Structure formats: C-alpha cells, structure tokens
Amino acid sequence: MRLGILGGSFNPIHIGHLLMGCAAAEAFQLDRVLLVPCAVSPFKVGTVDLAPGADRLEMVRRSVAGDPLFEASDLDLTRGGVSYTVESVRALHARYPEARLFFIIGGDSLRELSRWYKIDEILELCDVITVLRPGMALALDEALAPFPEAVRARLRQHTIRGRTCEVSSSEIRRRIAEGRSIRYLVCPEVEAYIRERGLYAVGK
C-alpha cells in the first residue's frame, strides 16, 4: 500500500488541503491519504485561536465523508502534547509495516524542512511530497541546499505543482470573525459545523 500522510492544524480544514492531497495521490498513485490534525503544532505553540481537537477532527471527518481516498486520523490528538512529525511517522510505520509512506507538505514548508525535528529520521521512514501552488515562486536549489545530494534528488523527484488555491485557515478565521462568508473556501458540511458550534466567532 502507498499511504499518504497530510498533517496540520486544520483550523479549519479547507478546500486547499483537499486539493493538495488529491494532487499528491494522483501524481504518486497513493492508495489512501490520512488527514492527521495535530494536537499542538511545534510551529504554533501558544496559539490562542486553535479550535478544540475534537472539533477540528470532526470537521476533517465531515470534509471527506464518503471519499475512499481520504481518512481522518486521531493519531496526534490521541497522543497529545506537541505533535512532532517524526513521532507520527514512527507510529504509522509501526502500524502499517508493509506500507510505503509519503508525507505531504506545501512549498512553504519545504523552505523550513531542513530545520524540522529529527528530519533525517523522517526521511529514512518516508518520502516527502511537496505540492507547490500554481505560480508559486520557490528557489528550489536554495531550499534543498542543506541536504546531501542524494536527499536533494529524492526531494526534487517528489516535488509537483498541484491544483491548489489561494486560501488559508487564518483567512477563514478572520472572515468568520468579521461576519463574512466562507462559502466555497470550505466544504458545505464544515461551514455548517462551524456555524452550529460558533467556532472562531469574536468573543468565543
């Protein structure tokens, strides 16, 4: 099995996340893509507008209900604490010993990849797929410079341009706080859930 892993805060999950997962799956013939909401991102420790893990997981579930490609995973939320990628990959490697693992990131994350916690072990356990946004300018050689040539070659081979869109979770939260529409930025089921739960509204 070729198993994709797409982690993040998903605060909330939006159309761009799903397009990224689809692009990676299509390009590398992935059988399934796990969507793994973090408990606490190591890059966002102290974030004050992070929705509860149960709500973020439920939004992921509602986004992909009925789609056999995607599966919501509570792996990081169950473990708790700061969600380091290496711990998630270790756990999935043990759970799916016969699977080939592919960790999916965006172009912005590739710039920081060399500074990730235990990145050498991550690269031993899985391939990293980078999905660039259309028109995104990325100095690939500069981003990959800290890695040995063999690793640079692997990362280049797994870099693609996807049909992503210009949307971010922070923009969605801001629009909600301002009372503006988020239609077509998230799945209708997620929009309804946010409204039902009163997530991200000012004063919540």
- CA dist 104 and 20 (Å) reads 8
CATH, domain range 2-166: 3.40.50.620
Tens-digit pLDDT profile for residues 127-178: 999 998 776 666 788 888 999 999 999 999 999 988 767 789 999 999 999 9
Tens-digit pLDDT profile for residues 11-39: 999 999 999 999 999 999 999 999 999 99
> Domain residues of the chain, as ranges?
2-166
Q: What's the confidence (pLDDT) of residue 204?
A: 46
Which one is predicted more confidently, 107 or 202?
A: 107
